[in-house]
Structure 1
Amino acid sequence: MILITTVREGESIDKALKKSKKKFDKTRILKEFRERQQYIKPSEGRRNEILRAIHRERMKLRKEE
C-alpha cells in the first residue's frame, strides 16, 4: 500500500511528517500486521470481542454513577 501525502509550498517538514503519520494511523496497517503475527481461532476472537464489550459497558456504567 502506498500513502501519498501532498505538501504545500512553504509547509514545514515537521507538519508534512505529522500528516503522513496521521494517514498511516488511519489505515490501521500496523494493527493488522500485529494481529497477523499470531493466529487466533475465530471462536476465541468472538469471545474476546464479547468480553471487551462487557468491559466497556461496565466502565460506561461506572462513569455515569
Structure 2
Amino acid sequence: MLKIQVKEGENIERALKRYKRKFVRTTVKNQLQERKQFTKPSVARRAQLQKAQYIQGLRDAENV
C-alpha cells in the first residue's frame, strides 16, 4: 500500500500528483495490467528473450 504524507499547508492536488508519480514509479501499475490477462509461459519466455536481444543489440552498438 502506498502512503503519502501530506505536509502542513500543502495543496491536496500537489499531494495527489506526488501519489500518482509514486504509483507509476513502483511496479504496481505493471502488475495490475499483467494480472488482467493470462499470458502463457511460452509467450512470456519469448518476450523475455526478445527484450534481452534488444538490450544486447543496444550494448553492442554502443561499444562499436
Same fold (TM over 0.5): yes
Structure 2 counterpart of 1:56, one-letter code = I
Q: Distance in 1 between matches of 2:7 and 2:34?
A: 35
Q: Which residue of 1 is the match for residue 29 of structure 2? A: 30
Q: Distance in 1 between matches of 2:53 and 2:26?
A: 27
Q: Distance in 2 between matches of 1:17 and 1:60?
A: 38
Deviation at 1:60, TM superposition (A): 1.9
Structure 1 counterpart of 2:48, one-letter code = E
Q: Which residue of 2 is the match for residue 42 of structure 1? A: 41
Report which stretch shifted further, 53-62 or 7-16.
7-16
Q: Which residue of 1 is the match for residue 52 of structure 2? A: 53
Q: Distance in 2 between matches of 1:28 and 1:53?
A: 20
TM-score if structure 1 supplies the norm length? 0.71
> Which runs of no fewer than 5 residues in structure 1 stay unpaired?
none
RMSD: 1.9
TM-score if structure 2 supplies the norm length? 0.72
Deviation at 1:17, TM superposition (A): 2.0
